Structure 1
Amino acid sequence: MTPLGIMFDDEKHTYDDFGLRITAINIGFPSAKTSKIDIPGADGYLDMTDYFGTRYDTRKLTIECDVEDKNYYNWAGRMSQISNYLHGKRRKIVLDWDNGFYYLGRGSCEYDKDNRVYSEITLKFECDPYKYDLTATDEDWLWDPFDFEEGVIREYGNQAVDGTLALTVVGSPMPVVPKIIVSADMQVAFSGESYRLKTGENYLPDIEIKEGEHVLIFTGHGTVTVSYRGGSL
């Protein structure tokens, strides 16, 4: 059985391509960016974090591995091979055991060899705060990585509008402003407000998709695609 590993940029795997066996992994969670206002003459602070929406710093991903390189010559070559691919590079990171999501982070490599047969390698990544859904709402849905207990199917591409279309979209814990692509000028209503859509791509900052269900009501004739990629901590 092939050991579990990590895929980078859909092209390199820690075990299949580098022979790395994961011995430990630490997935850190990002610190919340708080917003506090000091009120003179009052105790404590006024916490405005929720008013502006919770935002996060970057998160750390640390992967400890060993590799059977058998001699110092192989170790030197393997060290260069891995460093050339990962060190200082920003990569898409998919964990075999959580392959419905990916992280985006910049890597660094550390090496330690205290015997001839094995060496130890630590891969560290500073990543975006959220892990992203593997597929966006306008991409083909994938069976293999889908979580049938907690997963949500989001397919909002090329929806036909012939008069009025009420499209229910499901958000994720990561808030996002979707790209709305229409084949002809239309209007869209969201949270009681109406907005004009021009043929082509539209970004409307007031339409932010958060966790839960949201209804977008399109009026016009043509097709509409609501494109965004969800994310989770």
Structure 2
Amino acid sequence: MACLKGGSTKTTTTNFLAFVRAIRRKRLSGKGLPVKVLDGDTVSQTTYRWLKKFRDAEARRAEARQEEPRVYPLDVERYPFEDLDEYIAELRADGYDVFADIGGGNVQLFHKALRQADRLIVPLSPSEFDFDRVDPTFSEAATVYDEHARGGFETYVLLSRVISEKQSRECREELGKLKFRGEPLVVLEAEVEQLIEYTRQLGKIPPNLDEYTSVWDEIMRREAQKRAALKAVV
């Protein structure tokens, strides 16, 4: 998850999609296979603070009730990473799903993460301030595409903090003018509304993952359709 701008909902998107994936892996396997979240924000490290706030609150709750504290479903690590691309490759080889929250101000980390990523998700609040950073984000992504460890990555734009259909429609029209490596940007049909509950989830395991489950399902559906189409051509 990346956008070369702060405050574009990267951290919320990273964590909510990681929660969705952690639940899915547990249901599919009958046990909790590892989901690793890397906080690559060199400034705020909100993803790591999310974990810390959860542990602190859970320790107080468990002590008051004389219970064992609940286990956080995500394995979180924070910057600095000496060789982020190599580290992601090692994690993948060990069976981890890896979600990387890349801060808006570190292009070098962005490049390293992309060299190992299956997909780049660019969360975008449909405002002019955020929109101005979409093209530079994909321009930087294009510079490392040919260096990818497995031949390239999928790209998606996710509209978040959506307050109206009109706002969404106008932003989609503007996004339709942009391209990545000569092809139109893929803008997900699923959107995340501007809900106050999202701003209150820091340090908690969210009780409602419906919107982000829809986002994840659409991504998986699009990629399955693409694989089927390529197989049919072969």
In the superposition, the TM-score normalised over structure 2's length comes to 0.23
Larger Cα-atom Rg:
1
Higher relative contact order (CA 8 A, sep 6+): 2
In the superposition, the TM-score normalised over structure 1's length comes to 0.23
Report the structure, 1 or 2, having the larger helix content. 2
